[in-house]
Amino acid sequence: MLRSALLYLSERKEIQKWIMANPLSRKSALRFVAGEHCGDAVEAARTLAASNISATIDFLGENVSRESEARATLEEYLGLLDRFDSSGVAAHVSIKLTALGLDISQKLCEDAVDRICSRAAEIGSFVRIDMEGSRYTQATIDVFKGALSRHGNVGMAIQAYLHRTAEDVETLLPLGGRFRLCKGAYKEPASVAFQAKSEVDASYVRLMKRLMTSGSYHALATHDPAILDEARSFARAQALPRTAFEFQMLYGIRRDIQAELARDWAMRVYIPYGTNWYPYLMRRLAERPANLWFVVSNLFR
Ligand SMILES: Cc1cc2nc3c(=O)[nH]c(=O)nc-3n(C[C@H](O)[C@H](O)[C@H](O)COP(=O)(O)OP(=O)(O)OC[C@H]3O[C@@H](n4cnc5c(N)ncnc54)[C@H](O)[C@@H]3O)c2cc1C
């Protein structure tokens, strides 16, 4: 109930304006966001690297409606990759297709993805396409397939809560698809997604085992302690080496588990930055409503 309400609010522009104008909610957002500038994210990646944790950096923003905004997002990513190069920080980037103009024109978005992949390849970086709400699933897969045919350094997120994901995986694995498996963060109807946590978790574990035995390198993105235990036991039972897959978690969430995992396994943290933090923050609150009290208490402090 609260989860649905928070996900609904994540799309309300009028609430967004109010929340974003409040300096105290901005302070709360900084628990989950590295800062407003790319330098902040690169510094966060540098700090994590000292603890043997890699990073993938996301410039916050989604659903742009003007071409100029999509081009600005592209320029931001190219600047971010330049900064990896000049600072010696070896990180990946995570991109959202609706921030690169998918709502405006698929071609505009594909060209932007191509430019980001090309620049990333020059410096040995990797591009992960985030998966957004289900009305973008097919278009995201289409853009991903195109990018995969032209670039070797691109992967895509998949969502365990979608009924279609198991079939998508079977179609995309033979093409060389490399995935980040997550549960899924949007509000979806029962016609497209499992609704019960037990069903989503069971789907996650099935997909996780399929990916871990596929012979290619995938990422398991979750903070769920039971699934993390199952992943570790399965990896040991299959005698998978540390280099066979990686765990991923979100910046600022369960830092204790991040540090623990990084001792024995490859671990990467998703670091978002930028001023458009409202929908991202709301999705994090929806995942764990206990976080809401942290934000509300800051708002009235
Ligand atoms: C690296 C990464 C990339 C992602 N990319 C995408 C994407 O491209 N598309 C997409 O739809 N979703 C994405 N997600 C979000 C994902 O789909 C889930 O919504 C999110 O990870 C919460 O699910 P969970 O697996 O952690 O398990 P849950 O069942 O939600 O939570 C399990 C436990 O993890 C902890 N936890 C989970 N979330 C939080 C939180 N916000 N704050 C504090 N503790 C928490 C709690 O202890 C909770 O009990 C990504 C997640 C990660 C980690």
Whole-number pLDDT of residue 295: 66
Ligand 1 centroid to residue 266 C-alpha, Å: 18
From the CB of 246, is ligand 1 less than 6 Å away? no
**Tens-digit pLDDT profile for residues 260-289:** 999 999 999 999 999 888 888 888 888 887
Where exactly are the structural domains of the chain? 1-32+282-301, 37-276
One-letter identity of residue 217: Y
* Measured CA angle at 239 (ends 237, 245), to 5 deg: 105
> What backbone torsions phi and psi does residue 159 show, to the nearest 5 degrees?
-115, 120
**Residue 187 CA, ligand 1 centroid: distance in Å:** 14
3-class secondary-structure state, position 58: strand
What's the pTM?
0.94
Rounded to an integer, what distance in angstroms lies between the CA atom of residue 190 and that of residue 161? 10
Residue 130 annotated in active site? yes
- Supply the pLDDT for residue 144: 98
Q: How far apart are CA 73 and CA 130, in angstroms?
A: 15
Interval 195-200 mean pLDDT: 97
Pick from 250, 258, 269, 285 the residue to mutate for probing ligand 1's pocket: most ligand atoms within 8 Å of its CB: 250
Q: What digits encode the pLDDT tens for the residues 84-133?
A: 999 999 999 999 999 999 999 999 999 999 999 999 999 999 999 999 99
Check if CATH label 3.30.360.10 holds for domain 37-276.
no
| Distance (Å, whole) CA 2 – CA 286 | 7
Residues 6+ apart with CB under 8 A from 217: 178, 243, 244, 245, 246
Q: For residue 264, give the 3-state DSSP assignment.
A: helix
Give 35 Cα–ligand 1 centroid separation in angstroms. 20
